[in-house]
Structure 1
Amino acid sequence: MGNYANSLSERDKHTRITKGHCLICGTYGSLSQDHVPPQGSITVTKVEQVHLTEMFDLRSPKVKGIRSPNGSKFKTICRTCNMTALGQNDGEVAEVCKVLTQKIRHFFTYANSPVSSAHVPVNALKYTRAMVGHILSATSVTECIAPSQPTPYFDPLKKFVLGDDHAMNDTHDVFYWFFPHRHHQSIKLFSVWNSGHTCCMSLLSFFPLAFLVTEKDKGIYPAGAVKLDLSDKSLFVDLSSRNVHFSSFPAVELRGNQMVALNGSMSIVSYPIK
């Protein structure tokens, strides 16, 4: 039993809770399970969850992930936020994934196509509100134990998800790019140091797109990323292979004095299993 416990992902310590403070509105009470990625945007399968830091660990044997029979879930928000702030906007995420997946399938079926990009109609406001909401929820339940403290990074994101369309205008930028992988990545907060320049960011990645939130005008993002404006009517996605090696986290080549800092319990990888 001792050896099994030692080989189990630390994620096991960050999932068990019944009541707590909602990580979006702050209300204390019963918590609801949020599917991340949202249902309808992917084919729901059995998955395992581990911390991203465990995926990078070179120890042997590898840790055993926390299993779920029906997709990756996080019990960190109240039912009201789950059904309204997220539920009313998840359909936009599902439609973007559906249409883009069809175009990706067509592109790789007819590989001689001279066009290596896809345009997808989008309600950028609804899409962003849903994705930011899932970023806030996809973390450890330990954050729900005590009331959240005010922070200049997360407070505008919460206000935006709760309905303030302009809450992020002066504080955050959003980027997206093609994510051709089967695993899912949810990193609520991490920081990149690049030659004296530091930027705090949040990432939610699942096929077919990666979605990155950064501090306003900090300018640290992958070469293949496209900036998303909340007034956009379509997404432009480069499907070429030129940036595929930097599509997954950390999405940049770390060399010299460049580095990434993150909290393992706020950085989760989910992958499908049989």
Structure 2
Amino acid sequence: MKDPFLVHGPLRGPCSICGTPAQLTVDHVPPKGIAKGTAMEMRDLMDRLSTDKVQGKFQLSQDGVKFRSLCPRCNNERLGAECDPELLKLCNHASTVMRSPLALPPSFTVEVRPMRVLRSIVGHTLATQSGRGPLGPMEEAMVEFFLDTRLPPPRQMECFYWPYPFSDQVILRDVSLGRLGGHPPLFFKLLKFYPLSFMLTWERDVPTWNFRMQDLARYRRLSNDDSAALIIDLQAVPPQRWPEAPLDDCMLMMAGKPMIAEPRAERGAR
């Protein structure tokens, strides 16, 4: 069976986060409790964006998008026990508000521990390819931040988040966004799933890439155990296919296998 998105991986090997040789475990992206265990059709993002219809080759993943890539300690303890509960709390509260039949407010807040939410996003991003360790200064700094809970986020890193009221998931890991006119590119990693999107950026040039979305890293002075009221801004929401389908004055450069995953289409509905 072909594995273009490096989902399955070996049964034993180095952990994609800490590098420890171990019996590898399966990491769900997003973690269980946020997404239902639905069969997902995973496609190359470029193939999917080239047509308006869901068609063509895909890799089926039962029970959601997942990667065999992490050692038990990183998956079950560092993510599952320590960080994911805060991400679940944030996403489940956001989902409850966004699904409400009542008129939605311009924004609302959720009391969580922001550094644990950020470590959850960092950890799941690093898990999104089996058999791959950290590459480059951004991922090396992400690993250091994830493993040492005493550290603040790297000063070069930000984590923008915004509501994502769609059923598909997008995973981009090795990406840069360029703008015509000689502007510095934006280097980022992206996880999009209902109900929120998260974009990790590195050394963002603020005049070129000035975003309205909220930034998790603004809470960098908090410890791993400190709580804060995170703002969910329902008005600062970019188009569904931003940034993976950029505006006319921008161009996207990607390496590896950018993925879009959609709930498996019903028979006869293709």
Quick check: TM above 0.5? yes
Residue among 128, 134, 158 paired with 2:118: 128
The CA deviation at 1:14 is 5.4
TM-score by length of 1: 0.82
* Cα distance in 1, alignment partners of residues 59 and 245 from structure 2: 28
1:2-17 to 2 correspondences below 5 Å: 10-11=4-5, 15-17=8-10
The CA deviation at 1:16 is 4.1
Letter aligned with residue 90 of structure 2: V
* Cα distance in 2, alignment partners of residues 165 and 252 from structure 1: 37
1:40-59 to 2 correspondences below 5 Å: 40-58=33-51
* Cα distance in 1, alignment partners of residues 70 and 120 from structure 2: 13
* Cα distance in 1, alignment partners of residues 13 and 187 from structure 2: 26
* Cα distance in 2, alignment partners of residues 56 and 35 from structure 1: 24
Change in Cα spacing, 1:150 to 1:208, as seen in structure 2 (3 Å) is closer
Q: Which residue of 1 is the match for residue 198 of structure 2?
A: 211
* Cα distance in 1, alignment partners of residues 50 and 245 from structure 2: 19
Give 4+ residue runs of structure 1 displaced > 3 Å after superposition: 8-11, 13-16, 57-62, 219-224
Does 2:153 align with 1:159?
A: no
The CA deviation at 1:170 is 2.0
Q: Deviations over 1:34-65 (max 9, x none)?
A: 00010012222121212222212459993332
* Cα distance in 1, alignment partners of residues 232 and 26 from structure 2: 31
Gaps of 5+ in 2: none
The CA deviation at 1:235 is 1.9
SS at match of 1:152: helix
Residue among 7, 19, 40 paired with 1:26: 19
The CA deviation at 1:239 is 2.0
Change in Cα spacing, 1:71 to 1:26, as seen in structure 2 (3 Å) is same
Gaps of 5+ in 1: none
Change in Cα spacing, 1:252 to 1:225, as seen in structure 2 (3 Å) is farther
The CA deviation at 1:217 is 4.2
Q: Which residue of 2 is the match for residue 110 of structure 1?
A: 102
Change in Cα spacing, 1:71 to 1:252, as seen in structure 2 (3 Å) is closer
% identical aligned pairs: 25
Structure in which a larger fraction of residues adopt helix: 1
Q: How many residues align?
A: 254
Change in Cα spacing, 1:47 to 1:41, as seen in structure 2 (3 Å) is same
SS at match of 2:22: strand
